[in-house]
Amino acid sequence: MTNGRRRGKGRRGDIQVNAEINVTSLIDVAFTLLVIFIITAPMLQGGIEVRLPQARVQPLTAQDQPFIVSIDEDGMAYVGETPLTPEEFDDAFPQLFAAAQPGAIYLRADGRAFWDYIAPRWFVIAETAREAGVSVNFLAEPEPRR
């Protein structure tokens, strides 16, 4: 202690407290994160790339979780996001369907896929749906307006 004063506790006339918060760096970080999310959000939309044929269609009304079967251009079948070879599909589909117990099946077949790829899968889907009393629906892109 010097001259009878204690250090650490100043008088009112000493250094004033600055209670301002510098938010410039916080705003910079927030905008940077916003830009990152804006750029990455479209990439996070998953799914199987299928070019659907165009037809006169009505919009779907979502009741329950849809049970979607997709067939891509090369004939690979997907139940949801699960890829199945043609050989696996015949055995796995009825089991996957029974586990999910959906109200309807939606078939998304690529317009460029050969019917030879689609037909065998279609018969398995139709037979399984018929036994369960469930409807099967084809998905298509709406026709462009003229």
Instruction: Give pLDDT, residue 13.
Output: 65
Is 34 among the domain residues?
no
Residue-wise over 28-40: b if at least 16 C-beta within 10 A, else e?
eeeeeeeeeeeee
| Distance of alpha carbon 37 from alpha carbon 39, whole angstroms | 5
| Distance of alpha carbon 59 from alpha carbon 134, whole angstroms | 19
Number of domains making up the chain: 1
Condensed to tens digits (0 to 9), the pLDDT of residues 3-15 reads 555 555 556 667 7
Q: Cite the beta strand spans of 27-103 per DSSP E.
A: 54-55, 67-71, 77-79, 82-84
Domain that holds residue 108: 54-142
Q: What percent of the chain has pLDDT over 70?
A: 72
Rounded to two decimals, the pTM is: 0.54
pLDDT reading at 18 higher than 60 = yes
Condensed to tens digits (0 to 9), the pLDDT of residues 34-52 reads 999 998 887 776 666 666 6
Tokens of residue 76, six digits: 């690979």
Is 70 among the domain residues?
yes
Q: Cite the beta strand spans of 8-121 per DSSP E.
A: 54-55, 67-71, 77-79, 82-84, 104-109
CATH number of the structural domain spanning residue 114: 3.30.420.270
Give the least confident one: 1-15, 68-82, 111-125.
1-15
| Distance of alpha carbon 109 from alpha carbon 72, whole angstroms | 6
